[in-house]
C-alpha cells in the first residue's frame, strides 16, 4: 500500500519562472528540502527520460538520505512530472510527482500530486514537509527583482 498527497497554491509569479524552479539544480536544492535540511543536486538532466538525483541532509544530525529518478513529462510553464526512489532499501517503491501550472490573473495556479509514498513515511509528515518546501518555493519565485 502507498499513499498520495495533494497541494494547491497560487503564487505571484509567471508560470515560466515557477517551471524553472523545478528544472534548475541550484533552485531545486534551495527550495525542495524541508526546514532543517540542506539539499544537494548530484545530477539533473531535465529532458523526458533524463535522470535526476539529489540528497537531503539533516542540519542538526548530519544524517543524509539520497533519492532520484527520471523525468516523465516536461512542458515548459505548464507541467513537470518525475518519479523518484530512495536509495535506502527500508524506503521501498517508486513515487511519482506531477506538477501542473496554469497562468491566472495574479500569477500561477500550482497543483502538485505525489503518488506512491511508502507506508513507512507517515503521510502527515510528507504533507508537513511539502508545506515547508512550498513556503521556500514561494520565497524563491515570487520576488520580482530587476537586473541593474
Please report, for the domain that includes residue 84, its CATH number: 3.30.530.20
pLDDT at 102 (0 to 100): 98
Q: Does any domain span residue 148? A: no
Q: Does any domain span residue 91? A: yes
Q: Does any domain span residue 147? A: no
Q: Does any domain span residue 94? A: yes
pLDDT at 131 (0 to 100): 97
- pLDDT grade, residue 90 (50/70/90)? confident
Q: Does any domain span residue 136? A: yes
Domain, as residue range, for 18:
2-141
- pLDDT grade, residue 148 (50/70/90)? confident
In angstroms, the CA 127 to CA 5 distance is 7
Q: How many structural domains is the chain composed of?
A: 1
Tell the burial category of 121 from Cβ atoms under 10 Å away from its Cβ (0-12, 13-18, 19+): middle
Q: Does any domain span residue 23? A: yes
Q: Does any domain span residue 87? A: yes
- pLDDT grade, residue 24 (50/70/90)? very high
Buried b (16+ CB within 10 A) or exposed e, 23-55: bebebbbbbbbbeebebebeebebeeeeebbbb
Q: Does any domain span residue 146? A: no
Amino acid at each position: 500500500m502507498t499513499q498520495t498527497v495533494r497541494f494547491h497554491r497560487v503564487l505571484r509569479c509567471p508560470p515560466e519562472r515557477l517551471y524553472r524552479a523545478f528544472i534548475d539544480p541550484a533552485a531545486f536544492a534551495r527550495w525542495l528540502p524541508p526546514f532543517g535540511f540542506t539539499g544537494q543536486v548530484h545530477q539533473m538532466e531535465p529532458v523526458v527520460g533524463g535522470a535526476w538525483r539529489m540528497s537531503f541532509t539533516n542540519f542538526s544530525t548530519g544524517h543524509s538520505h539520497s533519492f532520484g529518478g527520471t523525468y516523465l513529462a516536461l512542458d515548459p510553464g505548464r507541467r513537470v512530472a518525475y518519479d523518484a526512489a530512495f536509495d535506502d532499501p527500508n524506503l521501498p517503491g517508486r513515487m511519482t510527482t506531477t506538477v501542473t501550472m496554469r497562468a491566472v490573473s495574479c500569477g500561477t495556479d500550482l497543483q502538485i500530486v505525489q503518488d506512491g509514498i511508502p507506508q513507512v513515511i507517515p503521510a502527515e509528515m510528507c504533507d508537513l514537509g511539502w508545506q515547508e518546501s512550498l513556503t521556500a518555493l514561494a520565497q524563491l519565485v515570487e520576488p520580482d527583482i530587476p537586473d541593474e
